[in-house]
């Protein structure tokens, strides 16, 4: 009996690997094209760090005319949740990070290199596991989990490196006859890789992000096919990224220490090794301590958070590019109006330690992104969000024509307003513009400097009776406010007041604040003249009357 017989005994129906090698040929792509992928497990939670990896892979492949695909790694069936694939597909869709190939719904996929879901690739892994067994590079292991645990405890007690390797790898030296005998007797087994490595030898590896790294060789006989017949991540990664003709494995740096094992697997399988780019995690400053963004502690770790808050997709993407390449910020400053897609993203310029995630900065980016939208774009975006998350806002937006005027205030000019950073801010920033809300609800008026009620009533009354004309142009309107100020003993100009404060009760700003607060209930609003033009004559009068009551 030889290795081939043992392999046939274990996987009698597996195909020759040549079948798969022909079925999934080298891709016909332009010179330098990068093929990469996003390969999440469908655990029901999409982490912002995952989205970040996907964005990076999408960017670099797009730039080279390559291929970006979505592979679902569902071999750990304990961790899986229902509709986990849909969650991933939809998150990518929401952020417009669209794969060229791979899963497109829970069960459907596109592309010629599938299946793109690992649980459907069982026979492929079997073929390659069989191939390794045939060459004596993998073997069945009959150790129970108790036995493996016992080995670990012995190692721990003796203070030696844990694992299934060298003399500890009990089943590695079983003869094919012994192994076949056990199988025929119905003993349970898994398949292990027979590592050719030696711990005392070093390998050199060049990682696109981390640079040159040295590691001891791998000498662990890792499991490649588990008791449930599915592969481990390590084995599946090698087989899949080879057959899917991945040129660049872009993944989280938690896998960096597995590189020696992965290189060995590629080599023993006779595959060309891909390039690796290990992305550092997104970090958070937690009271002065830098730590990973955590699924448990930080709501912003979930991709769904951004949708719920209504932070526009482009803002999140732009921010992620910002932390991915430190050169982005300067590029953006020099090219404020260019599409972010034009930025020349460089994988090798990513930060070696983790980039810091700063919500304040993200919201700032978001304000700028939103300030550049037209009223119509803003309206459409806010409406979509409101339909899902805020019924009251949706109702406000029913009157589209009016809402467009509201959104049009200080928009589309050189210095557009920047008061909105997310859709969940919008209601509060516009609600007073709607008469049915403003006139019917109680308003708390805080007039700042001018506080005497009678004085305020006099000012407002005088304004309605003698100064207010909806048809005034902006200059005339403001001159009238100055006239009104003067009449009540306030300086027409702030300068005049500052030069001689004892001579005045205040200045024109104090009077316009009285009007502003009476009209809107707020001390800070966008341009009051524009507000007046949008709400219209009747509303101005009704609002001032309400304030006087």
- Applying CB under 6 A, which residues contact ligand GLU? 39-41, 73, 233, 237, 249, 251-252, 255
| Smallest separation (angstroms) from ligand GLU to the CB of 39 | 4
**Residue 320 to residue 356: CA distance in whole angstroms:** 10
The residue nearest ligand GLU at its CB is 251
What is the number of other CB atoms lying within 10 angstroms of the CB of residue 170?
15
| Smallest separation (angstroms) from ligand GLU to the CB of 57 | 9
Nearer to ligand GLU, 51 or 491 (CB): 51
Nearer to ligand GLU, 88 or 340 (CB): 88
For 345, the token pair is 């993203």
Nearer to ligand GLU, 114 or 416 (CB): 114
Phi, psi of 188, deg, nearest 5: -80, 145
Long-range contacts of 465-470 (CB under 8 A, 24+ apart): 468/540, 468/541, 470/532, 470/533, 470/536, 470/537, 470/540
**Residue 406 to residue 539: CA distance in whole angstroms:** 14
| Smallest separation (angstroms) from ligand GLU to the CB of 419 | 39
**Residue 90 to residue 71: CA distance in whole angstroms:** 14
Nearer to ligand GLU, 39 or 532 (CB): 39
Give the single-character DSSP code of 207: E
Nearer to ligand GLU, 40 or 163 (CB): 40
Nearer to ligand GLU, 39 or 409 (CB): 39
**Going by C-beta distance under 8 Å and a sequence separation of 6 or more, which residues neighbour residue 181?**
none
Q: What single string gives the DSSP state of each residue in 525-548?
A: -S-HHHHHHHH-HHHHHHHHHHHH
Nearer to ligand GLU, 73 or 425 (CB): 73
Nearest CA-CA partner of 239 in 262, 206, 212: 262
| Smallest separation (angstroms) from ligand GLU to the CB of 75 | 9
**Residue 48 to residue 305: CA distance in whole angstroms:** 9
* Exposure of 237 in the CB half-sphere (CA atoms within 13 A): 24
| Smallest separation (angstroms) from ligand GLU to the CB of 532 | 56
| Smallest separation (angstroms) from ligand GLU to the CB of 250 | 7
**Residue 57 to residue 234: CA distance in whole angstroms:** 20
**Residue 366 to residue 177: CA distance in whole angstroms:** 67
| Smallest separation (angstroms) from ligand GLU to the CB of 241 | 7
**Residue 308 to residue 311: CA distance in whole angstroms:** 8
For 67, the token pair is 């291929």
Give the single-character DSSP code of 523: S
**Residue 345 to residue 158: CA distance in whole angstroms:** 50
For 207, the token pair is 């990682």
Nearer to ligand GLU, 92 or 249 (CB): 249
| Smallest separation (angstroms) from ligand GLU to the CB of 8 | 31
| Smallest separation (angstroms) from ligand GLU to the CB of 107 | 19
Nearer to ligand GLU, 219 or 241 (CB): 241
């Amino acid at each position: 009996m030889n290795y081939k017989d043992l392999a046939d005994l274990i996987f009698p129906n597996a195909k020759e690997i040549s079948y798969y090698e022909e079925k999934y040929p080298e891709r016909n792509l332009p010179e330098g094209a990068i093929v990469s992928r996003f390969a999440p497990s469908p655990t029901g939670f999409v982490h912002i760090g995952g989205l970040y990896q996907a964005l990076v892979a999408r960017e670099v492949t797009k730039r080279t005319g390559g291929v970006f695909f979505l592979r679902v790694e569902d071999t750990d069936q304990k961790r899986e949740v229902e509709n986990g694939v849909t969650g991933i597909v939809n998150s990518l869709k929401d952020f417009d990070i669209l794969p060229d190939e791979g899963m497109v719904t829970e069960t459907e996929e596109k592309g010629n290199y599938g299946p793109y879901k690992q649980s459907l690739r069982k026979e492929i892994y079997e073929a390659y596991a069989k191939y390794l067994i045939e060459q004596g590079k993998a073997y069945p292991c009959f150790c129970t989990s108790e036995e493996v645990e016992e080995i670990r405890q012995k190692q721990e007690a003796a203070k030696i490196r844990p694992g299934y390797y060298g003399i500890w790898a009990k089943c590695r030296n079983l003869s094919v006859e012994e192994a076949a005998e056990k199988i025929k007797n119905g003993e349970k087994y898994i398949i292990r890789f027979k590592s050719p490595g030696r711990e005392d030898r070093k390998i050199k590896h060049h990682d696109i992000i981390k640079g040159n790294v040295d590691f001891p060789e791998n000498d662990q006989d890792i499991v490649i096919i588990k008791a449930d017949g599915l592969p481990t991540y390590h084995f599946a990664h090698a087989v899949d990224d080879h057959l899917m003709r991945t040129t660049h494995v872009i993944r989280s740096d938690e896998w960096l220490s597995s590189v020696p094992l992965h290189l060995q697997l590629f080599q023993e399988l006779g595959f060309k090794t891909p390039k690796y780019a290990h992305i550092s995690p997104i970090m958070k400053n937690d009271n002065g301590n830098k730590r990973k963004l955590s699924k448990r502690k930080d709501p912003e770790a979930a991709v769904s958070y951004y949708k719920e808050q209504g932070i526009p997709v482009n803002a999140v993407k732009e921010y992620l590019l910002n932390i991915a390449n430190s050169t982005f910020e300067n590029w953006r400053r020099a090219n404020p109006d260019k599409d972010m897609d034009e930025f020349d993203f460089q994988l090798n310029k990513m930060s070696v330690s983790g980039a810091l995630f700063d919500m304040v900065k993200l919201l700032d980016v978001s304000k700028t992104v939103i300030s550049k939208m037209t009223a119509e774009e803003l309206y459409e975006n806010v409406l979509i969000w409101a339909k899902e998350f805020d019924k009251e806002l949706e109702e406000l937006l029913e009157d589209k024509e009016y809402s467009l005027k509201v959104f049009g205030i200080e928009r589309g000019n050189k210095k557009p307003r920047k008061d909105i950073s997310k859709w969940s801010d919008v209601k509060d920033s516009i609600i007073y513009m709607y008469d049915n809300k403003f006139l019917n609800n109680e308003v708390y008026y805080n007039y700042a400097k001018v506080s005497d009620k009678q004085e305020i009533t006099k000012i407002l009354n005088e304004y309605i009776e003698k100064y207010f004309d909806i048809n005034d142009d902006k200059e005339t309107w403001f001159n009238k406010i100055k006239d009104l100020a003067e009449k009540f003993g306030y300086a027409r100009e702030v300068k005049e007041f500052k030069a001689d404060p004892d001579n005045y009760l205040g200045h024109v700003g104090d009077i316009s604040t009285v009007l502003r607060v009476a009209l809107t209930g707020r001390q800070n609003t966008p341009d009051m003249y524009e507000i007046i033009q949008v709400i219209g004559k009747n509303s101005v009068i009704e609002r001032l009357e309400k304030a006087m009551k």
